């Protein structure tokens, strides 16, 4: 039945809903791209998707494998040099939402995509920064999407690749960074938002069937919950249909659904 959904679908739909129609969104590859394109195919047809490689107003029919995927340029309203994307659009204050993934995130929405372990002798070397530090620093607001677990939601990052709210409170403002910073972390279990004043991320909504114990067990810090925690609205039939069609087209084109990591 269409009403049945899995945790990945719930996460993607919940993230897509955070993107307003007509907003200008700087999109990361992977889960952010899947959620942003789902938004474009459902409630936000006028959203303007911008990718780091230069496409503006991209409308891919299948999810891109990378920022260099020709599908992005071929479906875009225009393509400009990467330098223009960053200097004029991003640093010029023209990006409403930065949509990012992460390998690790901490309680203040700081992101690590660089290394696991010691920087000079890492256990794992991750893909790196790309444009994420600039997006996190200059977009008017930032959305973060990733699967939740002890390895991804950690008390202390091995390396801060992209700054969220720094050490909490007004630290971001003191760093001189524009914009609100991260306004939500959407996972396969819940939605977290920064607490007023401290800017520590707390649980404000839990997905259907998820318990507080599950959230606590899959968080590497002492996670706190808002006074009134809501239940995330389950995916609608049209949201699931659009998502599954997008994944099916992507699988047919690339042999994989895209955006699963």
- Read off the pLDDT band of 1 (50, 70, 90): very low
How buried is residue 160: exposed, middle or buried, by Cβ count under 10 Å (0-12/13-18/19+)? middle
CA of residue 121 relative to chain centroid, distance: 28
Q: Is 166 a residue whose pLDDT tops 90? A: yes
The residue extents of the domains of the chain are: 7-251
pLDDT in tens, 167-177: 999 999 999 99
* Overall average pLDDT of the 15-23 stretch: 98
Element (H, E) at 111: strand 111-112
**Count of other CB atoms within 10 angstroms of residue 169:** 14
Contacts of 159 (CB under 8 A, 6+ apart): 112, 114, 115, 119
Terminus-to-terminus CA distance in the chain, angstroms?
Answer: 26
Residue 217 known to be catalytic: no
| Catalytic-labelled residue, pool 9, 52, 71, 134 | 52
**Count of other CB atoms within 10 angstroms of residue 230:** 11
% of the chain exceeding 70 in pLDDT? 97
How buried is residue 235: exposed, middle or buried, by Cβ count under 10 Å (0-12/13-18/19+)? buried
Q: Locate 230 and state its tokens.
A: 């809501």
- Read off the pLDDT band of 257 (50, 70, 90): low
- Which regions of 161-256 does DSSP assign to beta strands (E)? 182-186, 190-194, 201-206, 225-231
**Count of other CB atoms within 10 angstroms of residue 22:** 10
For residue 258, the model assigns a pLDDT of 59
What does the alpha-carbon distance between residue 258 and residue 41 come to, in Å, rounded to a whole number? 16
Helices (H), 92-156: 132-138
Q: Is 253 a residue whose pLDDT tops 50? A: yes
Out of 3.20.20.80, 2.160.20.10, 3.40.1080.10, 3.30.43.10, the CATH code matching 7-251 is 3.40.1080.10
Q: Is 2 a residue whose pLDDT tops 50? A: no
For residue 242, the model assigns a pLDDT of 98
* Overall average pLDDT of the 35-58 stretch: 98
For residue 256, the model assigns a pLDDT of 66
Q: How far is CA 261 from CA 102, 133, 237, in A?
A: 9, 19, 24
pLDDT in tens, 135-163: 999 999 999 999 999 999 999 999 999 99
């Amino acid at each position: 039945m269409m009403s049945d959904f899995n945790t990945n679908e719930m996460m993607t739909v919940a993230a897509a809903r955070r993107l307003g129609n007509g907003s200008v969104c700087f999109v990361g590859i992977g889960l952010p791209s899947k959620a942003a394109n789902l938004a474009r195919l459902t409630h936000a047809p006028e959203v303007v998707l911008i990718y780091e490689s230069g496409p503006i107003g991209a409308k891919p029919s299948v999810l891109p494998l990378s920022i260099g995927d020709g599908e992005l340029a071929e479906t875009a309203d225009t393509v400009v040099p990467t330098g223009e994307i960053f200097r004029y659009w991003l640093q010029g204050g023209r990006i409403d939402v930065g949509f990012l993934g992460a390998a690790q995130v901490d309680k203040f929405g700081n992101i690590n995509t660089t290394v696991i372990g010691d920087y000079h002798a890492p256990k794992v070397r991750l893909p790196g920064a790309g444009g994420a530090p600039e997006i996190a620093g200059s977009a008017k607001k930032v959305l973060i999407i990733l699967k939740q677990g002890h390895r991804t939601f950690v008390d202390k990052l091995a390396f801060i690749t992209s700054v969220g709210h720094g050490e909490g409170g007004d630290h971001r403002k003191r760093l001189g960074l524009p914009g609100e910073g991260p306004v939500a972390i959407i996972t396969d279990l819940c939605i977290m938002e920064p607490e007023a004043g401290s800017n520590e991320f707390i649980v404000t909504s839990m997905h259907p069937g998820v318990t507080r114990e599950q959230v606590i067990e899959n968080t590497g810090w002492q996670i706190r919950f808002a006074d009134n925690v809501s239940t995330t609205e389950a995916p609608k039939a049209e949201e699931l249909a659009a998502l599954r069609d997008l994944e099916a087209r992507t699988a047919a084109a690339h042999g994989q659904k895209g955006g699963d990591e």
